């Protein structure tokens, strides 16, 4: 499994544009939507920061150094990319409730910028996943495509959603993380932090394959026999249940979504046609090796929604070759999955990873 990953099939037809994203970091703006309000008291300083040119891990290191605390004292809800302008929360455990100089945390050097927008005291460390979602404001430049076709595609996305693929950020350059996962499953030793990344990449690869098979068959957003359903905005699942008028109503209203496998130990929850398609999509030697490796690592079978609908999707054309988009996504969803339905989007800031970049991170991942 070497070289570039194969292109994932689009749900709404062939590409309708070519464009460049992230010409500057401000072209990819991500704002974390908080999952709760600060309690106003406690030993944890809750910071809302704006950062440019640094990923979440690097920002956490800077905050720990500024506060004079170990890395374990810092909490954050989700990962945000380096190649963007982002706003997100961090918590800092300060048992003596001393408030360090907030101005001293501010940093502006080259592409890097870090500043505090809000602060409050809170009772607990900010845990991973404690966010309601992410809001995006994206700018595509040098757009090449028929505007009427682009408008029609955006309307289709707003009405029907997009396949909920894991973004390419999860897999590293040329899908290298998946190849490294296979090597790890074959006995190569890796660091603990790398192990978590590679397990995640392996699981994501299998999910994308199963989803791609359903997109290719035109059934990614409708019921199959043996379907397992996921509640919108939740990780709760139910089924399989017989398809009836109530299921059809809830599916049409985006209250529930078909789901696909996040591989691990145990039996697939799906049955019938849905399970048969999932197994067929994950039956080649590489997929079987990834499945076996995830099972041996102790992960358990879970599910993920196959369908994603951007909330509040809006767009406008600042000029003839520039398209600006705004929308919100739930935790764990990728803005790149939305952009991919439009066409070929070149990331103008993509470059070889640096030491600071560390783990490949995904904007919009919860």
- Residue numbers annotated as active site: 81
The closest alpha carbon to 86, from 135, 151, 23, belongs to 135
Half-sphere exposure (CA, 13 Å, Cβ side) for 313? 19
Beta strands in 43-193 (DSSP E): 44-52, 74-76, 85-93, 107-109, 112-122, 131-144, 162-163
The first and second tokens of residue 313, run together, are: 């999707």
Rounded distance, CA 255 to CA 248, Å? 10
The closest alpha carbon to 162, from 342, 28, 284, belongs to 342
Residue 15: count other Cβ atoms within 10 Å of its Cβ: 16
The first and second tokens of residue 113, run together, are: 């910028």
Contact 164, 304 (CB under 8 A): yes
- Using a 10 angstrom Cβ sphere, with 0-12 exposed, 13-18 middle and 19 or more buried, the burial of residue 217 is exposed
Contact 11, 221 (CB under 8 A): yes
């Amino acid at each position: 499994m070497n070289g570039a990953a194969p292109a994932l099939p689009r749900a709404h037809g062939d590409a309708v544009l070519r464009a460049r994203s992230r010409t500057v970091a401000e072209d990819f703006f991500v704002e974390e939507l908080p999952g709760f309000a600060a309690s106003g008291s406690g030993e944890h300083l809750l910071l809302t920061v704006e950062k440019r040119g640094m990923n979440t891990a690097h920002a956490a290191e800077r905050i720990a150094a500024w506060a004079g605390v170990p890395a374990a004292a810092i909490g954050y809800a989700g990962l945000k990319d380096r190649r963007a302008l982002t706003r997100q929360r961090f918590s800092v455990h300060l048992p003596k409730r001393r408030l360090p100089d907030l101005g001293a945390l501010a940093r502006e050097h080259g592409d890097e910028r870090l500043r505090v927008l809000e602060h409050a005291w809170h009772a607990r460390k900010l845990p991973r996943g404690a966010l309601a979602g992410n809001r995006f404001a994206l700018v595509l430049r040098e757009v090449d495509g028929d505007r009427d076709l682009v408008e029609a595609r955006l309307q289709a996305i707003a009405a029907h959603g997009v396949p909920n693929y894991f973004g390419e950020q999860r897999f590293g350059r040329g899908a290298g993380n998946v190849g490294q996962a296979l090597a790890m499953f074959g006995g190569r030793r890796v660091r603990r932090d790398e192990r978590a990344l590679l397990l995640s990449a392996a699981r994501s690869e299998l999910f994308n394959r199963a989803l791609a098979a359903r997109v290719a068959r035109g059934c990614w957003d409708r019921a199959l026999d043996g379907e397992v359903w996921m509640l919108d905005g939740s990780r709760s699942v139910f089924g399989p249940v017989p398809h009836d008028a109530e299921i059809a109503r809830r599916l049409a209203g985006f209250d529930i979504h078909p789901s696909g496998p996040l591989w691990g130990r145990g039996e697939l929850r799906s049955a019938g046609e849905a399970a048969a398609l999932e197994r067929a999509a994950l039956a080649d030697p590489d997929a079987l090796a990834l499945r076996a490796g995830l099972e041996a690592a102790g992960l358990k079978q879970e599910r993920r929604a196959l369908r994603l609908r951007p909330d509040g999707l809006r767009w406008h054309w600042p000029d003839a070759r520039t398209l600006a988009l705004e929308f919100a996504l739930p935790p764990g969803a990728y803005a790149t999955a939305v952009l991919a339905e439009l066409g070929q989007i070149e990331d103008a800031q993509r470059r070889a990873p640096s030491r600071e970049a560390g783990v490949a991170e995904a904007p919009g991942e919860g």
